[in-house]
Structure 1
């Protein structure tokens, strides 16, 4: 059900909105985690490396779609916060049109171009066949992934972060059952892992559609809503493509880093793949808080609640930094055990490299926590310049490391890539937030400025 975030305690609303996001992101990552464990244990390390070698390409194309979905939901949040349901529905319709085109493009590029893109990344020859199979099945079902991300973003834009969580839990359980059946029972190999994920996402799409039809009448679109003018399309495209482009920039940097890692051999690829799975799970609370801020800020901007935005950002920063310290401590304590869950204790070199990656990254999670909150808050205000600049700097950092440092200093270059990217990206975001904070304070002062009637 829709929920207004423009009244009540900011930090309480942010926490309540974040919790379902957090749990939902855990289950979303569970798709990849289950695939990794099953592939690594039932098929072997080489198959695990093949899935890992395809990871940057998945992130490149699907990251663009996820960014688009999140961006196109910002105008929806803003219109909902302002109470303009007609404009809100037109924003939703514009997003449906754009998402359809994005899904078609990703399917064509991913299915037809998978082997070529893998070779351009320098993927070891022995990994290309299985990696190609995984990508073609995964991108063949791109419409399901794009559809679920967009529908979830729209539902969250109206303040409901709980229902998408329920659907993710259902889909995650289904994914576990299917991946075990396809790989362990039917022997379908890495293609079975990808197919299980696609089918689970499709179920989530159908559940979202049923929810909207039965319980969210404000999202019932008519033919008239799809008569979208150039202004609405341009606004949704600007927000969506900017965030999508931003995610793609980050993904290109990850692909350049993957290029460097592939040159280190299958052991390094497997170590990086495993470490990334653990790392992605660990940073979910930080990422979820950031995503919550985009909706919180957008709704309050629509309602002209400038002081609430400032209070919410300040409180979210304190919460997120505190969580980063706790998460870092947990990685220090249990990092090695988590890595062994994926590959077993009989792969000491893989475990050692993965542990090195995790320890260094975990020590610097505080930087990432600030980056998530500030970036999403600025995006919630409708600004795209600073987040895009941050994405470009992330590309530079990961690209320099992937193309130059990894070749010279080996896996240590992989270890320092992410913290270097976070630090560089944070610079333009902090500068931009300083400007936005000043403007928000000025708007609040103007709102309370007494109106003086001129004396005749």
Structure 2
């Protein structure tokens, strides 16, 4: 259902972007290692630097060299490669606790099993999110080019929100994991409360800012008044419900840090992804329109948040004995 006028550029972009996936993997793995040992600054510095370079490359390749979508894709992949090289260099020059020695890279079965036990559920969860988003995009594509453009721009704008909120999820996973290993139960539980409050505060502030500046933000991306109108309506409809995701992000991160990975994955896949997919095939054919699509988000967040709260109070460690179970 992708509009024909968008297909050619989409194919070009994806072909180039997929070539850079390995760079994305290397950066994310390296950044995760650094965060796990308490170094969250240098991954941030790398991102800031490469984002700045990405903007510079976009201007050079698109504005001056007139390379269009191909230029955007090349700029993105180039910066992903730079970020991967930078984080690898940081690991090679790291201290003895986490120094990367290229010649000693090999599989260690005990460590590999632990990584897979945590990583496979997380990978399945991310895959389900992608599948759900692809299905939603298919239905959006049937609503016209202006709606597709507004939806795509919305994803770029609200990425600001998700970066802020997801950073708290990453932080709580690391903090809970460190204290879980040290057996400090009370610090684990207190950190979840503090992180929830901080995340809610940040979520409300960012949502309010995006809500208030919806139209000016859209005009940074397009001069089409109809796209701006549709996009602003999308933001005004969805942003007030974004706070509902905070519970999911923080509690799932805390549970993973405490070694509970399977059930959070099932709750997220079932509560968020499958509900949205069922909504699209069950509700959208009856009440077609962009608002029906958008309504799937707060509905799925609300149900999943309740499930996470119940599971957290039942299974999050309360005593040292539960850590040993």
Q: TM-score range by the shorter chain?
A: over 0.9
Contact 1:327–1:362 (Cα < 8 Å) also in 2: no
Please point out which of 129, 132, 149 is paired with 1:253: 132
1:395 matched to 2:261? The reply is no
Contact 1:286–1:369 (Cα < 8 Å) also in 2: yes
1:410 matched to 2:283? The reply is no
Residues 253-306 of structure 1, C-alpha deviations (whole Å, 9 max, x = no match): 111101100111211110111112111212322221111101001111111111
Shift of residue 212 of structure 1?
1.7
Aligned to 1:8: none
Aligned to 1:226: 106
Contact 1:387–1:429 (Cα < 8 Å) also in 2: yes
In structure 1, stretches of 5+ residues that fail to align are 1-121, 448-456
1:127 matched to 2:6? The reply is yes
Determine the C-alpha separation between the residues in 1 that align with 2:16 and 2:252: 33
Aligned to 1:31: none
Determine the C-alpha separation between the residues in 2 that align with 1:372 and 1:411: 25
In structure 2, stretches of 5+ residues that fail to align are none
Determine the C-alpha separation between the residues in 2 that align with 1:400 and 1:339: 30
Aligned to 1:374: 251
Determine the C-alpha separation between the residues in 1 that align with 2:88 and 2:250: 30
After superposition, the CA RMSD in angstroms is 2.0
Relative contact order higher in (CA < 8 Å, ≥ 6 apart): 1
Secondary structure of the residue that 1:219 maps to in structure 2?
coil
Aligned length: 321
Please point out which of 141, 150, 153 is paired with 2:32: 153
Of 146-155 and 396-405, deviating more is 396-405
Shift of residue 209 of structure 1?
1.9
TM-score normalized by the length of structure 1: 0.67
Determine the C-alpha separation between the residues in 2 that align with 1:140 and 1:391: 28
Residues 127-148 of structure 1, C-alpha deviations (whole Å, 9 max, x = no match): 2211010000000111111111
Contact 1:258–1:402 (Cα < 8 Å) also in 2: no
TM-score normalized by the length of structure 2: 0.92
Determine the C-alpha separation between the residues in 2 that align with 1:413 and 1:213: 50
Residues 326-369 of structure 1, C-alpha deviations (whole Å, 9 max, x = no match): 2232233211211121112xx22212221122122221122111
- Aligned counterparts, 1:12-411, within 5 A: 122-221=1-100, 226-229=106-109, 231-344=110-223, 347-389=224-266, 390-407=268-285, 408-411=287-290
